[in-house]
Amino acid sequence: MLGRVPEALLDTLVSVAQATVLRPVFVLAVACILLWERLAPADEEQPTFSVGFLNDGVWVVLGLAFQASAVVAYAHMLKQAYDANLGGLRVQSIAQLPEGARLALGVVVSDLLGWFQHWVKHKVPWFWQVHAVHHSQRQLNVFTDFRFHYGEYLISRPIVMLPLLVLGISAPSFLLYNLFTTWQTRFYHANIRTNLGPLRFIFVTPQSHRVHHSIETRHRDTNFGVMFSFWDRLFGTQSASAEEYPRTGIEDPAFPMEQRASPLGFLVVPFKQLVYPFVAIAKGSRRA
């Protein structure tokens, strides 16, 4: 009986991968980012298919399975809760604006709240233990954006969705916004040496976000931007240099990092990483 569990789980993950990861658009976009990584790598010693990349590949499939099973239902639940309790929360003068203007306003406010909740994750110890799962990657790559604790999603999603619900953004506009932010975050987590030149004053870049992931103390609590970088400039949390490409990761030696390329390890380690924040929080509570 126990021998069938991994096989059933593997079959589920493979079917999810075939349904989404193997779509031509997804494959083409990832291929373009991987090519850019080879042409201009931030870390020249990091192989394209590193142990971190392969482990994050498992996170991709787990994340897509999570989206297929929980995200749609959760988003629908949030929409129903909003309509039932806050449906009348509308500013009439804004509600009469064209869709494009409301979308632009919603994106700016949503991103500001995204910056704030990201800042909170770094400042509140319990939240940091959960967020540290994402920061644990020492070999940043196009798939690192998928490495995050799902409890984090359940907390942050309502925060960034609220402005879009209040402003009555249509489903097609929301999907367009979500598509842009999804691929932007995959891009700026990649092992790419670029700060995008003048665009860095508006958007988060691979360089600025790599500094955010830096393991070095001097970079701590900088570059919290999600889509836009100007919030960090406004609130004084922007890193001074636009040319640094530091090492990344966290300093916790007890964190269950992937160590070598092993099929069993790739299947087990992500689940250990999901559980570890609760272990760390429990240990911290006992010490307190």
Show pLDDT as tens, one digit a residue, over the chain (288 residues). Answer: 333 445 554 555 455 455 555 578 888 999 999 999 999 999 999 999 999 999 999 999 888 777 766 666 666 676 676 666 655 555 556 667 788 888 999 999 999 999 999 999 999 999 999 999 999 999 999 999 999 998 887 777 777 777 777 787 887 888 888 889 989 999 999 999 999 999 999 999 999 999 999 999 999 999 999 999 999 999 999 999 899 999 999 999 999 999 887 877 888 999 999 999 999 888 876 655
Q: Tell me the whole-structure pTM to 2 decimals.
A: 0.85
Give kind and range of the element (H or E) at residue 274. helix 263-287
Give kind and range of the element (H or E) at residue 177. helix 171-188
Q: CA dihedral defined by 32, 34, 35, 40, rounded to 10 degrees?
A: 120
Query: Going by C-beta distance under 8 Å and a sequence separation of 6 or more, which residues neighbour residue 212?
Result: 219, 222, 223, 224, 239
The pLDDT, as a whole number, for residue 161 is 75
- Indicate if the alpha-carbon torsion angle 153, 156, 159, 161 is positive or negative: negative
